[in-house]
């Protein structure tokens, strides 16, 4: 007779609704970390009874370790004793939520020692009803069966109506006060999270994030800086910054970076076996990736909101000037470093094949909104989520390869710039991998151009603006000519695709030689050649189809130049 064991699966919420209503960074960070804190406390209570945690991966010293971000996810599955029942689960749950409610109320009363909690029963009730912990206990023959079945059950639980109707910004909810920037920075959550808790500058405001290292790198002196930040008088800070000749408009914009793994679930399901070893190894590597991603984002001057394995949310500057070597880092370089760490931790350690024998290649897709610092945060958060799941995760690139007929899906960056003027720039680019025609990758060449145009001096910025403007105007005007060249050499050319592409590339070389020969072009040969390669790559990834009357290659090229122009705009 096969032995069966008791397993518990539970999920906590409402996370999405709590973060989605955020107006300031403190609310967004606190609204995320508080759930990581709840999960941590639940796991502490359950591990005290020697229960085996199947997922998420938990370190031995997790109880006292500070991760500088919320790393605990919203669900947990564990093997429990055969006498563990719903009544015992409810007791643990209520204890965790009661302790949490008391701490929030205490903090809202400025940490007074003699707070009478009996007089705050109404507030406590609101808090304990707000946080939802749903669980199920059942018997299974194996860990594999337990994870498969309980995961499906928890998926359905999260669709319950109770998860959809919570609003922490209801003035009667004590969370409304607790999530204020000043309160959250000195709260028990910040103490639990940050190694440098006493510093109280870990949870930066949006303008502080947008400015990155600009004030320090340019030795700008601003009297009573911390006071101005605490009082929200950012206009006075920017007025001083704008006096510096290196100030650009983009320093008034910050980015919301969201990421989610592609095919990670497929890998986990493939590794899920009866002995559980490979599954646990993968979970451990994913946790290590989370820790390293936190450090990468912090080193770039960003604020990690949560890093749950392959699930990332952070607020970051667009460009960050490094303290050590004085070099400029861009947000796209930041994503490159995160990708490299993901490859080192996950891709290089797990070569998993699907049922057809094809290698499963996990990757990260990104939703990226660039927002004016006064733009409503909750709207920007919602937009970044839409970009990730409705643009990046649905991205499909089908180059005109003819003989190869490859298709690239997901592994993309969906970007949207919401300018203060009301204008928008939106673009989705696929991050073609090294073994997949990277030499023609639009995304790769775009990042090269970012490095070239991240200039500092006024003279260099003026030249960049001239070059970019001349290309935006001329290429848009000559789109019909360029499309005709593509039709001539590729669509109506020989069956030798590689030779047809070479002939088209040569025609682009001649077009550039004949149309961009001013002094400003001749003195910036590297930049001109990179822009020329970008145009070729756009036609490679977005082949012109005369029958569809689409001009995606030219549109993509123009949008990239608009992004580059935005990053070089001067003034306030």
- Percent residues over pLDDT 70 in the chain: 91
CA–CA gap between residue 335 and residue 363 (Å, rounded): 12
> Residue 117 above 90 pLDDT?
no
How confident is the model over 512-518, as a mean pLDDT?
A: 89
Q: Is 224 exposed, middle or buried (0-12, 13-18, 19+ CB in 10 A)?
A: exposed
What's the confidence (pLDDT) of residue 390? 96
Report the SS3 class of residue 409: strand
> What pLDDT, in 10s, does the model give residues 1-13?
457 899 999 999 9
In this prediction, residue 160 has a pLDDT band, given cuts at 50, 70 and 90, of: low
Q: Is 24 exposed, middle or buried (0-12, 13-18, 19+ CB in 10 A)?
A: middle
> Residue 412 above 90 pLDDT?
yes
Task: Name the average pLDDT for the chain.
Answer: 88
What's the confidence (pLDDT) of residue 207? 96
How confident is the model over 247-259, as a mean pLDDT?
A: 95
φ/ψ of residue 8, rounded to 5: -120, 135
Q: Which of 168-177, 200-209, 336-345, 424-433 has the highest mean pLDDT?
A: 336-345
- Compute, in degrees rounded to 10, the torsion defined by CA atoms 103, 104, 106, 109: 170
What's the confidence (pLDDT) of residue 525? 86
> What pLDDT, in 10s, does the model give residues 173-202?
889 889 988 899 989 999 999 987 766 578
Sign of CA dihedral 307, 313, 316, 318: positive
What's the confidence (pLDDT) of residue 552? 87
For the chain, domains (ranges, CATH) are: 5-199 (3.30.70.2220), 206-436 (3.30.70.270), 458-567 (no CATH)
- Percent residues over pLDDT 90 in the chain: 60
How confident is the model over 37-59, as a mean pLDDT?
A: 96
Three state DSSP letters for 522-566: HCCHHHHHHHHHHHHHHHHHCCCCCCCCCCHHHHHHHHHHHHHHH
Sheet strands side by side (includes 75-80): 52-55, 75-80, 5-13, 132-140
Helix (H) or strand (E) holding 104, with range, is helix 86-108
**Residue 77 and residue 147 in contact, taking contact as beta carbons nearer than 8 Å:** yes
Q: Which residue has the higher pLDDT, 280 or 354?
A: 280
**Residue 395 and residue 277 in contact, taking contact as beta carbons nearer than 8 Å:** no
Within 10 A of 87 (CB to CB), how many other CB atoms are there?
7
Closest alpha carbon to 70 in 391, 227, 293, 248: 293
Helix (H) or strand (E) holding 311, with range, is strand 311-317
CA–CA gap between residue 47 and residue 53 (Å, rounded): 8
> Residue 567 above 70 pLDDT?
yes
Q: Which of 151-165, 188-202, 327-341, 533-547 has the lowest mean pLDDT?
A: 151-165
What's the confidence (pLDDT) of residue 164? 42
In this prediction, residue 451 has a pLDDT band, given cuts at 50, 70 and 90, of: confident
What's the confidence (pLDDT) of residue 369? 98
Number of residues written out for the chain: 572
User: In the structure encoding, which two tokens stand for residue 127, read together?
Assistant: 């808090």
Within 10 A of 204 (CB to CB), how many other CB atoms are there?
22
Location of structure tokens 């397993």 = 7
> Residue 286 above 90 pLDDT?
yes
CA–CA gap between residue 451 and residue 200 (Å, rounded): 33
In this prediction, residue 403 has a pLDDT band, given cuts at 50, 70 and 90, of: very low
**Alpha helices (H) in 314-441, listed in sequence order:** 331-342, 377-386
Closest alpha carbon to 510 in 542, 477, 491, 535: 535
- Quote the DSSP letter at residue 70: B
> Residue 115 above 70 pLDDT?
no
CA–CA gap between residue 109 and residue 128 (Å, rounded): 18
Closest alpha carbon to 291 in 74, 25, 70: 70
Whether residue 85 is preceded by a cis peptide bond, meaning omega within 30 degrees of 0, is no
Q: Which of 373-382, 480-489, 521-530 has the lowest mean pLDDT?
A: 521-530
> Residue 454 above 90 pLDDT?
no
Number of H helices, E strands in the chain: 23, 16
**Residue 197 and residue 191 in contact, taking contact as beta carbons nearer than 8 Å:** yes
In this prediction, residue 120 has a pLDDT band, given cuts at 50, 70 and 90, of: confident
> What pLDDT, in 10s, does the model give residues 323-352?
777 788 899 999 999 999 999 999 888 888
In this prediction, residue 128 has a pLDDT band, given cuts at 50, 70 and 90, of: very high
Q: Which residues pair with 426 in a beta bridge?
A: 416
Phi-psi region of 311 (alpha: psi -120 to 50; beta: other; left: phi over 0): beta
What's the confidence (pLDDT) of residue 153? 92
What's the confidence (pLDDT) of residue 497? 76
- Quote the DSSP letter at residue 439: G
CA–CA gap between residue 529 and residue 449 (Å, rounded): 10
> Residue 107 above 60 pLDDT?
yes
> Residue 391 above 80 pLDDT?
yes
Closest alpha carbon to 250 in 290, 286, 207, 300: 207
């Amino acid at each position: 007779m096969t032995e069966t064991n008791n397993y518990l699966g539970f999920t906590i919420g409402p996370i999405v609704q709590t973060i989605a209503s955020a107006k300031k960074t403190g609310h967004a960070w606190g609204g995320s970390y508080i759930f990581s804190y709840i999960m941590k406390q639940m796991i502490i209570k359950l591990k005290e009874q020697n229960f085996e945690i199947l997922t998420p991966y938990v370190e031995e010293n997790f109880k006292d370790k500070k991760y500088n971000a919320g790393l605990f996810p919203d669900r947990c599955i564990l093997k429990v004793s055969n006498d563990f029942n719903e009544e015992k689960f409810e007791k643990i749950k209520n204890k965790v939520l009661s302790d949490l409610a008391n701490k929030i109320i205490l903090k809202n009363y400025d940490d007074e020692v003699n707070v009478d909690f009996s007089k705050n029963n109404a507030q406590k009730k609101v808090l304990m009803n707000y946080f939802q912990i749903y669980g199920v206990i059942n018997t299974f023959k194996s860990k594999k069966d337990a994870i498969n079945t309980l995961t499906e059950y928890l998926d359905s639980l999260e669709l319950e109506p109770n998860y959809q109707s919570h609003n922490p910004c209801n003035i009667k909810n004590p969370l409304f006060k607790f999530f204020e920037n000043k309160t959250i920075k000195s709260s028990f959550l910040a103490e639990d999270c940050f190694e440098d808790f006493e510093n109280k500058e870990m949870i930066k405001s949006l303008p502080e994030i947008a400015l990155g290292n600009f004030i320090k790198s340019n030795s700008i002196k601003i009297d009573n800086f911390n006071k101005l930040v605490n009082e929200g008088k950012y206009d006075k800070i920017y007025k001083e910054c704008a006096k510096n000749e290196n100030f650009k408009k983009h320093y008034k914009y910050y980015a919301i970076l969201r990421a989610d793994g592609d095919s990670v679930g497929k890998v986990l399901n493939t590794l899920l076996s009866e002995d559980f070893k490979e599954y646990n190894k993968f979970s451990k590597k994913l946790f290590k990736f989370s820790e390293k991603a936190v450090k990468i984002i912090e080193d770039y001057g960003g604020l990690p909101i949560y890093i749950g394995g392959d699930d990332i949310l952070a607020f970051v500057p667009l460009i960050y000037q490094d303290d050590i070597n004085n070099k400029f880092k861009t947000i796209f370089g930041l994503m490159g470093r995160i990708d490299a760490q993901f490859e080192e931790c996950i891709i290089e350690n797990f070569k998993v094949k699907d049922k057809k024998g094809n290698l499963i290649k996990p990757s990260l897709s990104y939703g990226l909104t660039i927002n004016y610092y006064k733009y409503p945060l909750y709207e920007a958060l919602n937009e970044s989520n839409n970009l990730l799941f409705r643009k990046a995760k649905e991205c499909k690139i089908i180059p005109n390869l003819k003989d190869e007929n490859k298709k690239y899906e997901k592994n993309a960056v969906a970007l949207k710039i919401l300018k203060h003027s009301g204008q928008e720039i939106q673009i989705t680019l696929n991050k073609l991998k090294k073994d997949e025609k990277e030499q023609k990758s639009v995304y790769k060449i775009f990042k090269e151009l970012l490095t070239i145009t991240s200039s500092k001096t006024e003279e260099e910025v003026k030249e960049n603006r001239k070059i970019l403007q001349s290309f935006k105007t001329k290429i848009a005007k000559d789109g019909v000519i360029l499309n005709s060249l593509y039709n001539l050499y590729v669509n109506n050319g020989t069956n030798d695709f590689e030779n047809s592409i070479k002939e088209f590339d040569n025609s682009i070389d001649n077009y550039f030689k004949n149309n961009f020969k001013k002094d400003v072009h001749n003195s910036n040969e590297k930049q001109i050649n990179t822009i020329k390669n970008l145009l070729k790559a756009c036609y490679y990834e977005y082949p012109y189809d005369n029958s569809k009357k689409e001009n995606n290659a030219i549109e993509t090229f123009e949008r990239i130049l608009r992004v580059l122009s935005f990053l070089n705009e001067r003034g306030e």
